[in-house]
Amino acid sequence: MTTPETSPDHPGSADPVTAPGRRARPHDVDDLESTAVRRQRLLGRLDEPPAGQDEPAAQPTAEPAAPAHQHPEPPTSAFPAPREDTVPGLRPRWQEAPDPADVALAGASEARPRSRAAAHVWALVVTLLLAPVAWYLVADAGARLTLGEDSPWATGTLAPAAVVELVCGLLVLAVVLLAARWSSLGALVVGALVLLAGAAFVLLPGPTADALAPVLDQVRSQGDLGGNVAHHLLADGPSGRLAQAGLTLVLVGVVSHGARRLGRAEERGRREAARRDLGQGGARHGVR
């Protein structure tokens, strides 16, 4: 007599193992397989389908859209912020301008510096034309103020014409010196020529006097203006004042050129410092 628990025909038999000496039947093997499947499912292997069944096709899942009012979480070391092309907090001119390293001349606002040929030419022309005028006006005003028995220094009275001439000479001299701000070429060239002429008056008085004699005679024949020019030239040349004026112009040109080079070097340093600060700021904001 068989019981429901041991009956081979009972489909819900709890013991799938057959007794010794008993031949296993087909439904006993099915019970073993179903028990193994249930144990696998209990162990967490739910992703593997049972034997004899096809794997279900993977269904694409759409990520839920974040609510509009939800604020993005701040970036952390584990989840860094995405890379951006611009660094927050920078001025628009730094975001739109090219990298200072791409500029050919540091300190320039253009990729290629503008030509300074016009500045050199104009400074040279202005200095060549106005330096002799300034010298003559100042020298002639000085002669009117000091020479003769009727000079203001001798009589103690004011000479308005001499004062006006002196003021005009100083204004023209100021224009000559300001021309060195455009370019130092004019001051260097004209100053060197005047310095050489003044040195010739002092170092070679005999040959210089012989060479200038016919020239000065021709100048004196041009009237009062020519006579005044010859007189002032002979007064300033041998006394060394002409050499002093030439040396002054040369030094003005040297100072102008040196100041311009120093300004370029300082501007280059500021541009490099700004580029380093820009790189450090980009690294702090997550830009590589």
Q: What is the pLDDT of residues 103-137, one digit of tens each?
A: 444 444 544 667 778 888 999 999 999 999 999 99
Task: Please determine, for residue 12, whether its predicted confidence score (pLDDT) is greater than 70.
Answer: no
Any domain includes 229? yes
Name the H helices within the chain: 26-42, 92-96, 117-146, 152-155, 160-182, 185-203, 205-220, 224-236, 241-284
Any domain includes 125? yes
Quick one: pLDDT at residue 30?
A: 57
Any domain includes 4? no
User: Which domain, by its residues, includes 244?
Assistant: 117-279
Any domain includes 127? yes
Any domain includes 177? yes
Any domain includes 87? no
The tokens for 284 are 């702090």
12-21: long-range contacts (C-beta < 8 A, 24 or more apart)?
A: none
Any domain includes 243? yes
Any domain includes 41? no
- Cβ distance 210 to 151 under 8 Å? no
Quick one: pLDDT at residue 53?
A: 53
More confident residue, 185 or 273: 185
Total domains present in the chain: 1
Q: What is the pLDDT of residues 197-213, one digit of tens each?
A: 999 999 999 999 999 99
**Closest-CA residue to 225 (of 167, 284, 165):** 165
Quick count: other Cβ atoms within 10 Å of Cβ 66? Answer: 9
